[in-house]
Structure formats: C-alpha cells, structure tokens
Structure 1
Amino acid sequence: MAAKDTSRQTQGVLLPPEVSSEIWAKAIEESAAMQLATKIPLLGQGKEFQTITGDPEASWVSETEKIATGKHTFGKKSMKGYKLGVIEPFSLEFKRDKAALYDACVNRLPKAIGVKFDKTVFGVEGSAPGESFDTLAGATAVDIETDPWLGLVTADAAISAADGMLDGWALAPAAKTSLLTAKDGMGRPLFVNSMVSDNSVPALMGHAAHVKKGIYKAAVPATSSADGVPAQLGFAGEWASAFYGIVEGVRISITEDATITIDGQPFNLWEHDMFAVKVMFEAGFIVKDIARFAKLVGKTPKQTA
C-alpha cells in the first residue's frame, strides 16, 4: 500500500499538463459562479484586498464660510484558497488506452468540481469551507414566480440601491422553465434568444444568464411551528464585484495500490485490479458587498394535510 501523502506534492503518475488544462476549462463551464465572477491570481498564503467603505461628503458653502472636511474610510477583505477535490476509481482496462483515460477524466470529473463550487457559493448545501470564503446564501430574497417581470425589476432595484449595477444572472434549470413563458412590461419574451441553440448564452434584461445545476435549492413547506422557505431559483448581481482565485491550477494524479474509501468502507485498488484518479485544486471566492446580489426565489409551497 502506498504511504499516505501528507505534502503538497501528489503521488502517482501525473497526467499530461494539457489534460489538467482541459479539465480546468470544463470545470469552469460547469460553474455559473466561475463564468460570471472575475478570476484573479491567488497565492498559497491567500490575498488581501483593500476596500473603500465610505466617501467624504461635500457641502455647499457661502462666500467666506468654512469648507467642511471629510475623509474616506477603508476596510479589507481576505481571499484564501480552500481545497476541493474528488477521487474516482476506474477498472484497470481504462489504462490500456490513454485516450480512454483522458476522455474519462475530462468528461466526468470536472462536473463534480464545478457543481460543488456553485453549491457552496450559492448556499445550496453545507457551509463555506472557511471564514475567508464568501457565499451568497444571505442575499436578499426576491420572488420571481408570482410576477416574473416585477420580480426581476425588483432585484435590479435592490442591487442599484446598494450602489451596485446588475451585470449577470445565475439561474437554475427550474428558473429557466419558469421564465421561458414570461413577458416583460411591453409583452416581449424575457429571454431574447433561444435556450437550445448551440453555444448560446441567453440574455435576461440585457445581461447574460448562465443556467447551471448547482444553484437550485428546494422549497421547505410551512408547518404549524415554522414558516415555509421558498425555492431558490437563482441569483442576480453585480458580478464585476465578485472574484474567485485558484492556487496552482488543477492537480491530477493516479494510483493503483492505494486503499480508498467507498461508501464508508476501505477499498483496496490493487486487490480489485483497479486504479483511481485524484483531482485537486485550491479555490477562493469573495464578494465586495453581498447587498449587490439578490436571491431569486419561487413560491413557498402550501402546507398539506
């Protein structure tokens, strides 16, 4: 059995760099947050951002009157990389043909990475991996099912009120289904291009709308002791003020003689004539101001007898 790897260096036979690059590109394709936010360089020790939290206020004065003084106020935000990874076992026959292994990694593993990143950013499940990783779970909720057009305008207005400017949408497939038949104030379809055309990113109110699976969170019905929680259908926001960073890029390794855990039980690869591919990367995510984002929600289901 291979020794446990406790360093930053992976063990096993590394796959070619081009495989790592393509897996990373496909992981981004699976993530609405990474497609909408701005990518920035991130070192292993993290990165600190200076922010301006307040501006000096000017005032009108009469001739010879004293001019008021003021100053900016400052704050800071820290981004740190947190590990996100997945191990997938394969039969050893895959390894006979590099193309088969290549295709398996590129087509299967990135989805797990991109979807998990989104589920964390959008508060779908679990919590942030650390205090320097922001999520949008606490964004102001806006109903877009009762009156879709009014709901979208309300979200835009909430972002503007926080001194933000809406520049993109992250939508769950359920939101797409709901909005496909909706019209704007002039009776025109909200989506201005086809949702099924190849390589097409639909626009909503003039801004790109990325439809991905890691966004939806089911509604919680009301009970006699608690109010219901509406379904989470998406997010609107000023994505220019959201940032994600990656440390070192994607790291990939394979092993044939390790023991991994499957369904809570140890599983020896060598005994089963198998191997496993491990994909790891370190990522961080921050937003300047969560008030510049709005959570798009559906109706709260009624209590059933």
Structure 2
Amino acid sequence: MVLKREQFNPDNVMMREAQDGSIPAKYETLVLKEVLQNSKIMQLGKYIDMGGDLEKNFEVFAKGPGAYWVDEGNRIQTSKAEFLNIKIRAHKLAVILPVSREYLDYKQSDFFNAMKPRIAEAFYRKFDEAAILNKENPFDFSIDGSVTTAGNTVTGEINYDNLLAVEDKLLDHDIEANAWINKAQNNTALRNATKVENGTTERLYDRSGSVIDGLPFVNLKSDQMTKGDLYAGDFDYLYYGIPGNLKYQLSTDAQLSTIVGTDGKPVNLFEQDMVALRATMDIAVMIAKDEAFAKLTATAPTETTDPKA
C-alpha cells in the first residue's frame, strides 16, 4: 500500500505552531500583487526576471543601428546596435510589525489574510523611499542620486516655466521624460502653474487626467518626500527585480529598538504581551543612465556627486 503525503493546508495550522518559514504561496502572491500595484518604482520601471538569483547581468539597448542615404550603385554602409552590459543586485528588505499576542491563536490563513495589507504597505513604502528618495538606501542607485550625479536639478518654486525647465534638463541629454513623480501636497501649486498667452491661460497640470504637460504622474505617499519636490524622467532606464520568496518569523520576547509605544519608549514584546512579525523579501533596483532623471526642488542641492550621499 502506498501512503499519500498529506498536502500542506494553512487552514489547518495555527500560528503558534508555525512561527517561522516562508509565507504560504497563495498569500505571498497576494502580498506581491499589492506591492506591485502600489510601489511607484514598480508602476513606472521595467521588470527584470532574475531567475531566483540575487545578481543578474543583462544587456540594455544604447543606440543604433543607423540608416543611410545611398547613391545608386554604391555600397550600403552597415552599422550595429550598441548595448550596455549592466548588473542588477538584490538586497534583503525586512519589516517588523508588532501585533497582539492573540494572533498566535489565528489559523495561518486567517493571520496572513489580516496581515497582507500591512506587510505589503511596509514593503512598498520602504522600497520607494530608498529607490526614489535615497533614504536608508542599500542600493547603489536611486532617482535622487542620479539627479545629483547628472546635475539635473532645477531650484525654484512650482510654476509653469520651472516645470518645463525640468523637462529641458532631460532634453539636453537627448532624453524625453515619460512620467513624473509628484507629492499630493504639490497639487495646489500645480493648479496655479499657468501661463497667459494671447489672452489664453495655458495649464500644464490636469488632475482629472493625472498628467503634467501631457505626461502621466504618480503621487508618492511619504513624509520623507519634501513638499515642493517633483521628479521627471524616462523610466525605461529604471529596472527592478524580485528574486526570492517572502519569509517570516514571529518573536514574543524581543525589544524593538526602532519602534516606540505611546509612552515614547521602545516596545518590549514580553512586557506588553505582544508579538512581532518580521517579514523579509529580496528586491533589486538599478538605473542604467543617470541623465534620464531630473528634479524640481525649492531646496538648493548639496555639492556632492555620490549617489548614496
């Protein structure tokens, strides 16, 4: 007689019996779906399949091939396309979420149903702040770092001329922007970014169509982004990858040095009868061309060329 192996079912497992491991495939897919739908980098950038590896080399199109005018009977010139060989490398992103100890009595399926949005939001917020704003950034790349390296900063208030000046920074490098990254607090200033010509008021911002100068924009929700800042770029030069599975671990006795309670003191799980969920994922980002991004800011840029400064 052949014994049939029982298939794993998260509906039959309590969280106190499974305090670490990989997030079950169904819920991992749901978490990743929510991350993909909300991360601004993932909405605008290009996905690279890393095949489960933490590093991957790949080629991106640089220029060519060209076309030529040919006189009758003359040899046709030939040219070849040029590609850049670049590397994308993943880093581990971890989030810690304190929850009530009662969650240990949840079935694994119920637990991850409840925690899915919190895990996803923590992941995409942290990833976007690193890859866009260069905040707590483990990567060698960020949009803000590329802007600094390329010198593509326009300093001044949000107005008609300055918005066009940001796009002109890119055009100086033969690059056309295909999207903007905005902060919702900028919307009033964007509505007032107008120019009167021949008695007609021209506007660059259209909230209903979610466009600035005809280009789509996304709003980054982060207190790390300064009001008055906007980024424009050709996001075909930005790549991201997710090579590994999502893993988790529960702790009942740690002191969370980076999370404080209402009393302003670090959360002590044992004293406060709580549980902490630590979720991790490997994620990668790289920018193939610094000159592909520009920024409008009211703050004068610092004198540095280090993208991680």
Selected match of 1:119 from 116, 129, 137: 129
Distance 1:106 1:181, change over 3 A: farther
What is the CA–CA distance in structure 2 between the aligned matches of 1:299 and 1:150, rounded to whole Å?
A: 17
2:262 aligns to what?
A: none
1:44 aligns to what?
A: 53
What is the CA–CA distance in structure 2 between the aligned matches of 1:178 and 1:101, rounded to whole Å?
A: 43
TM-score, structure 1 normalization: 0.71
- Partners of 1:216 and 1:234 within 8 A in 2: no
What is the CA–CA distance in structure 2 between the aligned matches of 1:96 and 1:65, rounded to whole Å?
A: 81
Q: Residue 90 of structure 1: CA displacement?
A: 1.2
* Structure 1 segment 17-36 matched on structure 2, within 5 A: 17-36=25-44
Q: Residue 110 of structure 1: CA displacement?
A: 2.2
What whole-Å deviation, never above 9, does each CA across 1:120-150 have from its counterpart, x for those lacking one?
A: 1223423x4144x44432411124625x222
- Partners of 2:166 and 2:232 within 8 A in 1: yes
What is the CA–CA distance in structure 1 between the aligned matches of 2:28 and 2:61, rounded to whole Å?
A: 37
Q: Secondary structure at the match of 1:255?
A: strand
Q: Residue 106 of structure 1: CA displacement?
A: 2.3
- Partners of 1:118 and 1:215 within 8 A in 2: no
1:81 aligns to what?
A: 90
Distance 1:267 1:157, change over 3 A: closer
Distance 1:101 1:181, change over 3 A: farther
1:167 aligns to what?
A: 178
Q: Secondary structure at the match of 2:93?
A: strand
What is the CA–CA distance in structure 2 between the aligned matches of 1:191 and 1:106, rounded to whole Å?
A: 35
What whole-Å deviation, never above 9, does each CA across 1:132-174 have from its counterpart, x for those lacking one?
A: x44432411124625x222222222222332322111111223
- Partners of 2:154 and 2:165 within 8 A in 1: yes
Q: Are residues 1:154 and 2:165 paired?
A: yes
Residue 290 of structure 1 aligns with an amino acid whose one-letter code is D
TM-score, structure 2 normalization: 0.70
Say what the alpha-carbon RMSD is for the aligned residues: 3.7
Distance 1:192 1:257, change over 3 A: closer
* Structure 1 segment 47-196 matched on structure 2, within 5 A: 47-51=56-60, 75-98=84-107, 101-102=111-112, 104-126=114-136, 128-131=137-140, 133-139=141-147, 140-143=152-155, 145=157, 148-183=159-194, 186-194=200-208
- Partners of 1:23 and 1:105 within 8 A in 2: no
Distance 1:85 1:232, change over 3 A: farther
What is the CA–CA distance in structure 2 between the aligned matches of 1:72 and 1:78, rounded to whole Å?
A: 19
- Partners of 2:101 and 2:274 within 8 A in 1: yes
Distance 1:50 1:272, change over 3 A: same
Q: Secondary structure at the match of 1:187?
A: strand
Q: Secondary structure at the match of 2:206?
A: coil
Q: Secondary structure at the match of 1:164?
A: coil
Q: Residue 19 of structure 1: CA displacement?
A: 2.2
- Identity over aligned residues, as a percent? 23
What whole-Å deviation, never above 9, does each CA across 1:88-127 have from its counterpart, x for those lacking one?
A: 121122344458634542232322221221221223423x
- Partners of 1:33 and 1:170 within 8 A in 2: no
- Partners of 1:259 and 1:266 within 8 A in 2: no
Question: How many residues are paired up?
Answer: 269
**Which ranges of structure 1 fall in alignment gaps of 5 or more residues?**
1-9, 195-200, 219-230, 301-305
Distance 1:55 1:256, change over 3 A: closer
- Partners of 1:135 and 1:286 within 8 A in 2: no
Residue 291 of structure 1 aligns with an amino acid whose one-letter code is E
What is the CA–CA distance in structure 2 between the aligned matches of 1:297 and 1:267, rounded to whole Å?
A: 37
1:248 aligns to what?
A: 244
Distance 1:13 1:56, change over 3 A: closer
